Amino acid sequence: MTTERATRGRLPVVLVLPALLGLAFLLLPMVGLLVRAPWRTLPARLVGAEVGEALRLSLVCASLATVVCLVLGVPLAWLLARGDLPGRGVLRALVTVPLVLPPVVGGVALLLVLGRRGLVGQHLDAWFGVSLPFTTAGVVVAEAFVAMPFLVISVEGALRAADPRFEEAAATLGASRWLTFRRVTLPSVLPGLVAGTVLCWARALGEFGATITFAGNFPGETTTMPLAVYLALETDPDAAIVLSIVLLVVSVGVLAGLRDRWIRGAT
């Protein structure tokens, strides 16, 4: 380090100053949250019914949404990485659309398709009596819609980085493509899969726009943590801070769980 600095001169202020400002900009709001937290009443509020209910609902819905993403997203990632599809680039771009789409727009789109009068929703209602909007299932659908691209992109990247010759080796040993996928491919992309799953889960946990648009706000049924934070901010700011701190702790926990090795495996 010393020799490098000696030979390459001082760090330029033009870069260092904005870098430090950027760092402060990212960290200060979180510090503010901790400074303004009503620490004295915090334990009492935490065990209160309102927070517990929202937290439980959030965890359950985010986990279910993650399962949905895994079941659908991993095969989709495999198809994008390994399937010899025409127009694969276009497909890959389409998959990432929900990533850049404002979540509210995603919620509106979901309503139009899965709503009681929607393209698919009307048949779901008529044939199975299933109606997704404004239900807990609707929360899962909205979260899965927003979070799935994170999983697909992460797993697809890992699959494309994995050496396909191992799959060839498995084939020469008599393994079908399905067996090869389960026993050889999937274990080799496990770090990417774990990273993608965690990102997907974290995104689902924090999902707000699509959820409130598609599933509405019914305490105990569709009011997840982010919705509860937003509502509490108008009536009881201290409650909003407590809820926010809980989400912050969960998020930091997720980051800690991700650690370098999982992230490295995904890139």
Partner 1 sequence: MTLDASIRVSRANFSLDVDLTIAPGEVVALLGPNGAGKTTALRALAGLVPGARVRVGESTWDGLPVERRPIGVVFQDYLLFAHMTALDNVAFGLRARGTAKAAANATAATWLDRVGLAGFERAKPRTLSGGQAQRVALARALATAPQLLLLDEPLAALDASTRLKVRADLGRHLRDYPGHTLLVTHDPLDAMVLADRIVILEDGRVVQQGTPAEVVRRPRTDYVAHLVGLNLYRGTAHGTEVSIVDGGSLTVAEPATGSVHVVFPPTAVGLYPEKPAGSPRNTWPVTVSGIERHAHTTRVHLDGTPPVFADVTTATMADLRLEPGDRLWAVLKATEVHTYPS
**Interface with partner 1 by CB under 8 A: which residues?**
163, 165-166, 168-176, 179, 183-184, 187-188, 190
Measured from the CB atom, is 127 or 178 closer to partner 1?
178
Helices (H) and strands (E) in the chain, counts: 16, 0
CA 130: distance to chain centroid?
26
Give me the amino acid identity at 159. Answer: L
Residue 222 main-chain phi, psi, to 5 deg: -130, 0
CA–CA dist 117, 141 (Å, integer): 17
Name which of 188 and 244 has its Cβ closer to partner 1. 188
Shortest Å, Cβ 96 to partner 1: 29
Q: Taking the complex as a whole, how short is the minimal distance between the CB of residue 183 and partner 1, in angstroms? A: 7
Of 161 and 248, the one with the shorter C-beta distance to partner 1 is 161
C-beta of 181: minimal distance to partner 1 in Å?
A: 12
Nearer to partner 1, 37 or 171 (CB): 171
Min dist CB 195 to partner 1, Å, is 17
Nearer to partner 1, 66 or 185 (CB): 185
CA dist 201 → 59, 178, 220, 234, 256 (Å): 9, 26, 20, 28, 14
Q: In the bound complex, what is the minimum distance in angstroms from residue 190's beta carbon to partner 1?
A: 8
Q: At which residue do the structure tokens 């599809």 appear?
A: 85
Could you give phi then psi for residue 116, rounded to 5 degrees? -60, -30
CB closer to partner 1, 175 vs 254: 175
3-state SS, residue 64: helix
Q: How far is the CB of 170 from partner 1 (least distance, A)?
A: 7
Question: Under DSSP, is residue 236 helix (H, G, I), strand (E, B) or coil?
Answer: coil
Nearest to 92 by CA among 189, 157, 181: 157
Contact criterion met (CB below 8 Å) for 66 and 201: yes
